[in-house]
Structure 1
Amino acid sequence: MSFDEFAQLQGHFYFFLIFFLTIVLYAYIFHLYKTQKSGKKDYEKYANLALNDDLDSELLERRAK
């Protein structure tokens, strides 16, 4: 395998890797949107976690024992 063939193969691999990662990213964003829209989780609470970080602040979710 020559250097030119290897560089071309590397370019194709890079393109398909970026394409695959883009699809995974959009699927994850869709999953987050769908989960929040259906009411299973409220991600706004987790976004405000850094702002409301006191020892006496309320818990985000109760744990089941």
Structure 2
Amino acid sequence: MDLREIQAYAYFFFVVFLTLVLYGYIVHLYRSEKKGLRDYEKYGKIALDDEPGSPPVEEIKSDEKANDKKEQ
């Protein structure tokens, strides 16, 4: 087995691995949006409304801040 053949196999498996990671990420996004954990359409508006004075995409509630501090 020469070096070029090893590179070809490595390239193939790397492309397959990255494809699986991409599809896994897409499934993760789809499931979290279906469960209501995040609304990713709101994040798409960041590109359209990017002024310094524009309102934030998500408001952090005071109880969420307290929970985040407890977890750390």
Normalised-by-shorter TM-score class? 0.7 to 0.9
Q: Which runs of 5+ in 2 are unaligned?
A: 67-72
How many pairs does the alignment contain?
62
Q: Which runs of 5+ in 1 are unaligned?
A: none
CA distance in 2, matches of 1:54, 1:8: 52
- Give 1:59 deviation, angstroms: 1.7
The CA RMSD measured in Å over matched residues stands at 1.5
- Give 1:36 deviation, angstroms: 0.6
Q: Deviations over 1:30-52 (max 9, x none)?
A: 00011111100000000011112
CA distance in 2, matches of 1:58, 1:18: 40
Q: Identity of paired residues, percent? A: 44
TM-score by length of 2: 0.76
Does 1:59 pair with 2:39? Answer: no
Residue number in structure 2 paired with 1:44: 41
Task: Report the residue type matching 1:25 in the other structure.
Answer: L
Task: Determine helix, strand or coil for the equivalent of 1:55.
Answer: coil
Residue number in structure 2 paired with 1:34: 31
TM-score by length of 1: 0.83
